[in-house]
Amino acid sequence: MSVEIKVPTLGESVTTATIAKWLKQPGEAVKEDEPVVELETDKVSVEVAAPQAGVLGPQAVKEGDEVEVGALLATVEPGKAGAAPAAPKAVAAEKKVEAPATPAPAAQPAAGAVDSAAALPAARKIMAENGLSAGQVGQGTGLGGRITKGDVLGFLSQPQGAAPAAAPKVARKDDPREERVKMTRLRRTIARRLKEAQNTAAMLTTFNEIDMSGAMALRAEFQDSFVKKHGVKLGYMSIFSRAVIAALKEFPAINAEIDGEDVIYRDFINLGIAVGGPNGLVVPVIRDADKMGFAQIEKTISGFGKAAREGTLKLDELSGGTFSITNGGIYGSLLSTPILNSPQSGILGMHSIQERPVAVNGQVVIRPMMYVALSYDHRIVDGKEAVSFLVRLKQNVEDPRRLLIDV
């Protein structure tokens, strides 16, 4: 008996995915729980496995297609590997994906509007909710010129009354020495979200510098004992995480977010830690980080780093953050202005540690120094709060004993 393979639940707020790559072809033998197709969502890549052993049947969708949760991907037929089964079901399924999920919106389309069938399912849903036509949104960036969810959101983010779109520009003529590669869904989403953060928030960055001598001395003194007891190294990230948590409790607006005309304050801290993965930067979230000690934070970050490199991060590990930390110092960055991870109101940027001459008690000495940057949403966070937050962070990192006695 054949079994259907469908798009699984993709996590919080994720309703669509793109077929990134078929790992098995029709007629090939598959084992139970063996990955057969890779999906790419707004946040991470996901492998979908065969629910039973058998032979992969017709593929209902092609690589590059956008599919919704619950959509048919393929079937697993009983039997052994051999010739691929006929594919009438695949054609029908593909047509089903392309068919409009909702009736055309009541709003009158603009002159020369394209039929809404040119939009992908998630895009059609948002267009219907906002009374938009495909002609208003314009040419899509999806496969075959279809309108994507990102295209609609980009159109909606434009200021009301903006000037009409200019005439289509002449297609760029590629140089033979150039290579044109389509952006991945993840990269497109990163680009869109970063631009949305710039357009939405009143973003401002303030800076300070930290003498890392105290933190380095703490690590040197207790590293061996820490590893022996907890099985993980004491790193700077746990020290900064605990210092950030203490400062956020003192300045709660930086851990809050704006929702319409309301401000949502939180009695918990979900700390996003930016890590590099094979498909770009991702920000897994340490939930209830304010309840964790140094060792638990280090273990969680270490697990996130490994999962990011192996591409095994789960979708629910990438959502729900209330504040983020990014460490450009591991790549050699001396100074930067990090961009907010919407809808969060603050993000801390760490940087390289460099020995520099500084004045201490009237004497010029060489100390290991790090620049830190706090980008924040000025709509909710005042400049005084942002500067005070960094001063408290500086104090906590320069003398980590403060974190133990809560001063």
Q: List the catalytic residues.
A: 378, 382
Q: How far apart are CA 213 and CA 381, in angstroms?
A: 30
Residue 93's nearest CA partner among 32, 9, 5 is 5
Of 29, 148, 38, give the one whose Cα is nearest residue 82: 29
Instruction: Compute the distance between CA of residue 354 and CA of residue 40 in angstroms, rounded to an integer.
Output: 39
Tokens of 366: 């060489």
Query: What backbone torsions phi and psi does residue 362 show, to the nearest 5 degrees?
Result: 80, 5
- Which residue, among 172, 240, 251, 278, has the nearest Cα to 394 in the 3D structure? 240
Candidates 70, 75, 78, 83; CA nearest to 28 is: 83
